[in-house]
Amino acid sequence: MKVSVLGRLALSLVALLPLQAAVLSAQDAAPTGRVAFVNMRQVMDSTPGFAAAESTFVQEMTTWRGEFQQLQNRLDSAAAAFEQQATVLSPTARQARRNELQAQQDTLQSRLAQLNQRAADRERELLDPIQARAVSVVEAQRVAGGYTIVFDISAQANNIITADRSLDLTSRVIAALKSSGGS
């Protein structure tokens, strides 16, 4: 029995129907990929305990900056005095003063590194628990709303130009944080 070209094509299409049904079924089962956004800066500002923690951190940073500035001023004064006296100092005395200035500079840099580390540690100590609580509420809102991903629109590298405001979870997150009583 001889089958025409059209007949073979029809048989091929009929043979592909189960495959097409499987592909369509898999597409229906795939997640929809809902997206939402939140203004984490606004959330953090509204999170219980954040204002006090931020205020404490700013006060401590002011103290550390003052300490650093005093050290910097002493070094600047010593350098200025050296510049004025350099021409009348002997080469040996001039080199000794340069060594003293370098030691002061090294001490200043070392203290700056310590203060930076101390500030980073203190910021983590004060703010990480509050941020973790806020992120957990965002995560709960993401799951409850069936969202695949939530963007932070307050981030500096935010590339979102416009979005449907109904996708903004900020007010829901703030309300959930306030209703949880800061715990």
Question: Per-residue pLDDT tens for 115-149?
Answer: 999 999 999 999 999 999 999 999 999 899 998 88
The answer to whether 135 and 177 are in contact (CB under 8 A) is no
Q: Mapping DSSP to helix (H, G, I), strand (E, B) and coil, where does residue 182 land?
A: coil
Owner of token pair 């203060």:
115
Contact 67, 115 (CB under 8 A): yes
> What is d(CA 75, CA 104) in angstroms, rounded to the nearest whole number?
7
**Total residue count of the chain as it appears in this document:** 183
Whether this model's pTM surpasses 0.75: no
- Indicate the domain borders of the chain: 1-30, 31-179
Q: pLDDT (tens digit, 9 = 90+) per residue, 132-141?
A: 999 999 999 9
The identity of residue 20, as a single letter, is: Q
**71: number of Cβ within 10 Å:** 17
